[in-house]
Structure 1
Amino acid sequence: MSEGTAASTEGTVTSADGTTIAYTAWGEGDPIVIVDGATAHRATTPENAQTAELLAAEFRVINYDRRGRGGSGDTAPYAVEREFEDLAAIIEGAGGGRPATVFGWSSGGFLALNAAQAGVPVARLALFEPPAVVDDSRPPLPSDYVERLDAAVAEGRPGDAVALFMTAAAMMPEEAVEGMRGSDFWPALEAVAPTIAYDGRNVGDAMSGRPLRADRWDKVRVPVLVLHGTDTWPALAAGAKAVADHLPTATLKAIPGENHGTTAPALAPVLAAFAKGA
């Protein structure tokens, strides 16, 4: 893998419903597509660019803004199938239609799995700490989580939607979240607040505190690598293991010294080996 700064190009593809999806790409070769988790997009995740630069000598790495975020558009009404179509458009338009390794970070892992389940053509799936909750290792998401997110946005309270995500999904203390409301980065979070419910819908019942349904991802037949850091929150490691145990084609791997915000030098060689079939 190269340790230099690889050149990148920016572009857009048009999804099936006409929505413009923006992306940045590095390198040539078989594509690796990065799918961000809740609230994240290219402008807020420089680690993705760093990972891409390390992989660019051997792969075409594509990081795209999910709909409603960053440089991508959005078209109502939302349905999870629209995001499957977005990923398919990225693979076809930015990846040249070549078999893609799709890397989903956090709840982006659920989107990647759901898309594969729906038939989006992927060659391999790599998932970093998909936050499944199947036991009492942490509180589950409230049963009305998505409805409360939608209501907060519809009533002009995007900050309350962000706060709900941070406390109920990310398990941050309420006092810490309230202290963030006056921060410089809070407006950027409010700007993507409508999309937090998109992740909630992709998560579905995977954070309900109950075992994963037998038919959840039962059509996923491609190789799957489920990753977690050894220094991550134990509940996230438990969630990763639950997803790996549920998928017959999955392998679970721990990355030493990493947490939920994994670093490019630790992640890139693992992705490269997996994408090569090693």
Structure 2
Amino acid sequence: MSEVRSADGTRIGYETQGAGPAVILIDGAMCHRGAGPMRAVAPGLAPTRTVVLYDRRGRGASSDTLPYAVDREIEDIAALISAVGAPAALLGMSSGGALAALAAARLAAEVTDLIVYEVPFMPEPARPAALAYTAELGSALGAGDRDGAVTAFLTRVGVPGPAVQHMKSSPSWEGMTAIAPTLGYDDAVMGDSSIPAELASITARTLSLAGGASPDFLQWGARGIAELVPGAELDVLDGQGHDVDPARLAERVNVFLSR
């Protein structure tokens, strides 16, 4: 494992696989190098790319510096790009895709390509529920209630109550509560769940993806990004959901990056 210091001194732990132009993989909520989909995606990209797996601040081998701001996470990505050799491509999943898109908008020429999978931006009628989650999450984190914060997140993403109770007695629960404060980071990245107007300034080649078996709102977000970002492509992976098959995703990303 390697590490790089971000602009505010935060230590960002990362590792690389393969060789070639860099692609940085950006996880969503509750995920990091040791827990999440990106490690399974990496081998499919490594034959032609330097694949960068990293722990977002407050997770895994990375440290944290308060107060949090989305700009600090973008500085983390900039530090990684500098460490592995600029420019780089970004691949973000779920709320990590929102962070990747904001980074592409603000880092401009440092980002050659942007690929996002199912960023959960939502149409206006669905946003009150997102704001209610923000309030519930903020209340739990403000009270230091990490169990409550994780429970709010799992409920928000559709995990049934009995399953949440079962998870609380599993070995994985301690790992989730350990990074519970970072749920607030992902929530900040998502804003009010509308698609940020600044994405229209992205100059990187962009591919916005969704799964054909996913709920309509996830496909809505993918379409909206493709419509807003100049020259962006939209593709729907048949039969896939939010828990996308890593080999299918890597295959589609390779096709896009190779053009």
Deviates more, 1:125-134 or 1:140-149: 140-149
Match of 1:24 in 2: 15
Aligned counterpart for 2:185 among listed residues 179, 198, 218? 198
Q: Take 2:183 and 2:218, find their aligned partners in 1: how far apart are those partners?
A: 19
1:41-120 equivalences under 5 Å are 41-45=32-36, 47-93=37-83, 95-97=84-86, 99-119=87-107
Sequence identity percentage: 36
Q: Does 1:256 align with 2:238?
A: yes
Question: What is the one-letter code of the residue matched to 2:138?
Answer: D
Deviates more, 1:103-112 or 1:227-236: 227-236
Aligned counterpart for 2:213 among listed residues 223, 226, 231? 231
The alignment's TM-score, normalised by the length of structure 1, stands at 0.86
How far the C-alpha of 1:232 sits from its partner, in A, is 1.9
Answer yes or no: is the 8 Å Cα contact 2:13–2:54 preserved in 1. Answer: yes
The alignment's TM-score, normalised by the length of structure 2, stands at 0.92
Secondary structure at 1:224 match in 2: strand
Runs of 4+ in 1 over 6 A off after TM superposition: none
Match of 2:163 in 1: 176
Q: Take 1:113 and 1:203, find their aligned partners in 2: how far apart are those partners?
A: 11
Answer yes or no: is the 8 Å Cα contact 2:127–2:192 preserved in 1. Answer: no
Query: Quick one: structure 1 residues 134 and 225, their matched pair in 2 at CA, closer, same or farther if it must change by over 3 Å?
Result: same
Q: Take 2:17 and 2:217, find their aligned partners in 1: how far apart are those partners?
A: 34
* RMSD, matched Cα: 1.9
How many residue pairs are counted as aligned between the two chains?
258
Q: Does 1:268 align with 2:246?
A: no
For residues 217-262 of structure 1, give each alpha carbon's deviation from its aligned partner in whole angstroms, at most 9, with x where no partner exists. 2321221101111122232122212222222321110112221111
Question: What is the one-letter code of the residue matched to 1:42?
Answer: R
How far the C-alpha of 1:266 sits from its partner, in A, is 0.6
How far the C-alpha of 1:42 sits from its partner, in A, is 0.7
For residues 140-199 of structure 1, give each alpha carbon's deviation from its aligned partner in whole angstroms, at most 9, with x where no partner exists. 54425445423322322101111111223x133344323422222111111110000101
Structure 2: tracts of 5 or more residues without a match:
none
Aligned counterpart for 1:132 among listed residues 121, 124, 143? 121
Q: Take 2:101 and 2:123, find their aligned partners in 1: how far apart are those partners?
A: 17
Q: Take 1:50 and 1:143, find their aligned partners in 2: how far apart are those partners?
A: 32
Deviates more, 1:231-240 or 1:100-109: 231-240
Q: Does 1:38 align with 2:25?
A: no
Q: Take 2:75 and 2:113, find their aligned partners in 1: how far apart are those partners?
A: 18
Question: What is the one-letter code of the residue matched to 1:153?
Answer: L
Structure 1: tracts of 5 or more residues without a match:
1-9
Match of 2:111 in 1: 122
Answer yes or no: is the 8 Å Cα contact 2:24–2:51 preserved in 1. Answer: yes
Q: Take 1:216 and 1:147, find their aligned partners in 2: how far apart are those partners?
A: 25
Answer yes or no: is the 8 Å Cα contact 2:78–2:107 preserved in 1. Answer: no
Query: Quick one: structure 1 residues 96 and 74, their matched pair in 2 at CA, closer, same or farther if it must change by over 3 Å?
Result: same
Query: Quick one: structure 1 residues 265 and 78, their matched pair in 2 at CA, closer, same or farther if it must change by over 3 Å?
Result: same
Q: Take 2:26 and 2:129, find their aligned partners in 1: how far apart are those partners?
A: 22
Secondary structure at 2:107 match in 1: coil
